Amino acid sequence: MSLLQRAEVALTKFIEKCQVFYKLTFMSYNVHASLHLVTDVKRFGPLDSFSAFKYKNNMQFFRRLFKKPHQALQQFVLR
């Protein structure tokens, strides 16, 4: 059994157990999306090659530009 197959089995079991223990309240989009990780790795390669996580830390730069939660585009242009 390959590592990808093992990961797929483990993720599927995790999701099934979460449904039993936590019901649907635990089943967020992120939990559901984890079922597709193996397929994504098969299509696009290792997670590091297509993940957006490395850019997420840079969002702090943009957050500092905005003073209020609304009209973000206008605030950005005027800075």
Residues 6+ apart with CB under 8 A from 56: none
- The reply to whether 4 and 28 lie within a common domain is yes
pLDDT in 10s for each residue of the chain, 79 residues: 899 999 999 999 988 888 788 877 777 888 888 888 899 999 999 888 877 776 767 777 777 777 777 887 887 787 7
pLDDT the model gives residue 71: 83
- The reply to whether 35 and 56 lie within a common domain is no
Domain count, the chain: 2
pLDDT the model gives residue 8: 94
Query: Tokens for 36?
Result: 């597709």
Tokens 């943009």 found at: 62
- The reply to whether 21 and 56 lie within a common domain is no
Asked whether the beta carbons of 28 and 18 are under 8 A apart, the reply is no
pLDDT the model gives residue 39: 92
Q: What pTM, to 2 d.p., does this model score? A: 0.58
- The reply to whether 31 and 16 lie within a common domain is yes
- The reply to whether 32 and 70 lie within a common domain is no
- The reply to whether 8 and 25 lie within a common domain is yes
- For 34, the domain range is 1-45
- The reply to whether 74 and 39 lie within a common domain is no
- For residues 45 and 41, what is the distance between their CA atoms, to the nearest angstrom? 5
